[in-house]
Structure 1
Amino acid sequence: MNNYGKTLKKIRVGKGFSQKYVSNNICTQGNFSKFELGENKDIKHSTLSEFLVRIETSYEEFRYIDNGYIMPLRDEIITNFYNQTYNNSENLLQLQRSCISFLKEFPDDNLINKIFIIIKSLTILANTNDFHSAKLLAEPIWTELSRRDDLYLSDIFLLNSILYIFPIETAVEMKKFAFRHIEKYKNFQNINRIKINFLINLSLLYLKNHDYHMALKQLENSIELCKIEKLFINLSICYIRKGICLNNLGHCGLYWQTKGMNMLEVLDEIELLSILETEIDKCSN
């Protein structure tokens, strides 16, 4: 918290709040003044949280401002990793470099170490399609998480990121396990996004196993959530795969494939469009 006092003062003054207002019924104005001057570094996190409520600033925004309006590297790694729509080799390489840079300074950060392992696993898969080697790297993470009585958001994100690496039976078990714990977060921000990613990843596994009925079931559930969250890239993927499923079930899926491809063109997602066109060709043979 070495710089937190200065950052708090910057925001407080910028918003026109007095020290008296911000510190009222939290601490003495004298102690608050010392905190702003960097003379009192023993402020509890709960006290800082109360200050932030007074200055109408979230902890995430506060840390962003404190870091010079730059997202801290750890947060950047986690955000970029969680927000991947598909495995782009260049993005994976950049994430790998960021992890290496961060772990040089903080080698014992468990979450970033797990993300680093998963990125290496996904890179192997993206470059060589070697599921066996990718699974060997990721399996200890699944083993550890499967023994937990409770999962939290970071655990659920990790599970989703390795789902695709495992056989369909294991992937289904992972999804059921994760969704039991996701239920606790049903009113939490953006929780539908993680559900969508699970369903989309599982649909691809079902497609690869030629189980088009189950793939379609995952996609229909995902489509409804994508519409609610207005996640148009994910929705495009679902439409294209829905078309693939319908074609293989003896129905005409061209409408859905075309709709999804047109959306990706509008969104300028050319690389993803190319990947899905290849997917269409493979599933048509």
Structure 2
Amino acid sequence: MNYSKTFKKIRIAKGMKLKEAAGNTLSISQLSRFENEQSMISIDSFIELLTNVNTSPEEYFYLLRQEEENELKNYFNRVKNLVNNKKYDKLEELVIDLKNQKPASNSWMSFIVLFVESIIVLDKEKKPLNQPRVLSYLIQVEDWGEMELYIYAIFGFVFDVETTYLLMKTAIKKSRLYQSIPQDLKLLFSILSNNFSAFLLHKRYDYAEETLAIYEKKLLENTLLIEPHLDFLFNKGIFAFTQKREEEAKVYCEQVFELCRLFKLTEQEENYKKRYLIWSKSYLDPDFQELIIKIGFIS
């Protein structure tokens, strides 16, 4: 966590010099070393520093979390752009770069490395890379929090299909604690949408159909978010393709296009249309595969 970097940003945003922020708590050189990640300070000194810059611990930790989420979003957006443009050599460079940073075990950076490696292997070998470390982590955590839900959301495709199905029940149950938060409610639908795609990849149409039923139930319970509704309708269309019901698929997908135009979601409409075109041309091909992974905290 970037404790010192976040403190430095707060100090600069407040227009305070090192001397003012240090006060009687630290020397200027001690504070400078802390801000530049060259030394640590005691918790008592840190609380005093926050008081010196007129910032409550609650405000500080809120800003710290925002910093961490922005860093994660930047990495995942980078991965998304490289995958969408099929620049897998750059993905391999990203893995090397992240490994050189020596991320702590079970940190987000270490999981990003495993995620990117899984994407690379899936592209090369056309089958998911088993990640026992991820599964081991999820199983050993007795009470899943947000981080575990996010991890499951993006790694569901690497487990065997039965494990993904069983863990989905845990994810739905745990996500109830967070559904009053719009961002975390969106995460639940990312999990369901990702699992639906993973089940189709494994040709487990029974699990895919059950996932759609759960998705619909959750939509009826509580959400005014437009994106989950679009994904649900489009996934209904995709499922119709897998059952060789082309006309039904067309009806669902055209509903999605109309809603995108209504809400002026031009980029989303283009993405849905690209996928629809691919499915309409390839759904009869027994070797055709598609995997969609939504990152819960990225728009």
TM-score, scaled to structure 2:
0.64
Q: Work out whether 1:220 is the aligned partner of 2:213.
A: no
Please, what is the CA RMSD of the aligned residues? 4.4
Q: Letter of the 1:239 partner, please give it.
A: L
Distance 2:148 2:86 in 1: 25
1:10 paired residue number: 12
Q: CA deviation at 1:163?
A: 0.9
Is 1:105 the counterpart of 2:101? The answer is: yes
- CA distance in 1 between counterparts of 2:193 and 2:99 reads 31
* 1:202–1:215 Cα contact (<8 Å) kept: yes
How many Å apart are 1:54 and its aligned residue?
Answer: 5.2
Change in 2 beyond 3 A, CA 1:109/1:206: closer
* 1:64-213 matches, cutoff 5 A: 76-77=71-72, 80-81=75-76, 88=84, 90=86, 97-111=93-107, 112-131=109-128, 134-135=129-130, 138-188=131-181, 190-207=183-200, 208-211=203-206, 213=209
Gaps of 5+ in 1: 24-28, 65-70
Output the CA distance in 1 between the equivalents of 2:86 and 2:117.
13
Deviations 1:57-98 (A, max 9, x none): 65464698xxxxxx67x9524654399889636487656544
Cα distance in 1, alignment partners of residues 223 and 49 from structure 2: 38
- Of structures 1 and 2, the one scoring higher in RCO (CA 8 A, sep 6+) is 2
1:243 paired to 2:237: yes
SS in 2 for 1:243: helix
Cα drift, residue 173 of structure 1: 0.8
Q: Distance in 1 between matches of 2:236 and 2:32?
A: 61
1:105–1:229 distance in 2 versus 1, CA, 3 Å: same
The one-letter code sitting in structure 2 at the alignment partner of 1:240 is F
TM-score by length of 1: 0.67
SS, match of residue 236 in structure 1: helix
Q: Equivalents in 2 of 1:157, 1:5: separation in Å?
A: 27
Residues 79 and 91 in structure 2, CA contact (< 8 A), matched pair in contact too = no
Go from structure 1 to structure 2 and tell me whether the alpha carbon gap of 1:236 and 1:268 turns closer, same or farther (over 3 Å shift).
same
Identify the range of structure 1 (222-231 vs 155-164) with the bigger mean alpha-carbon deviation. 222-231
Residue correspondences, number: 260
Change (3 A) 1:256 1:4: closer
**Which position in structure 2 is the counterpart of 1:67?**
none
* DSSP 3-state at the match of 1:13: coil
Aligned to 2:267: 268
User: 2:165 is matched by which residue type in structure 1?
Assistant: V
CA distance in 2, matches of 1:217, 1:271: 24
Out of 224, 229, 237, the residue aligned to residue 225 of structure 2 is 229
- Deviation of 1:116 after TM superposition, in Å, equals 0.7
Question: 1:206/1:157 Cα in 2 relative to 1: closer, same or farther (>3 Å)?
Answer: same
What amino acid sits opposite 1:114 in the alignment?
F
Q: Which runs of 5+ in 2 are unaligned?
A: 35-40, 286-299
Give 1:68's aligned residue: none
Shift of 1:195: 0.5
Cα shift at 1:38: 2.6
Q: Identity, % of aligned pairs?
A: 13
* Superposition deviation, residue 267 in structure 1: 2.5
8 A Cα contact 2:237 2:250, kept in partner: yes
- The structural deviation recorded for 1:198 is 1.0
Q: Which moved more, 1:107-116 or 1:245-254?
A: 245-254
* 1:255 and 2:251 matched: yes
Structure 1 residues 46 and 79 mapped into 2: Cα distance closer, same or farther (>3 Å)? Answer: farther
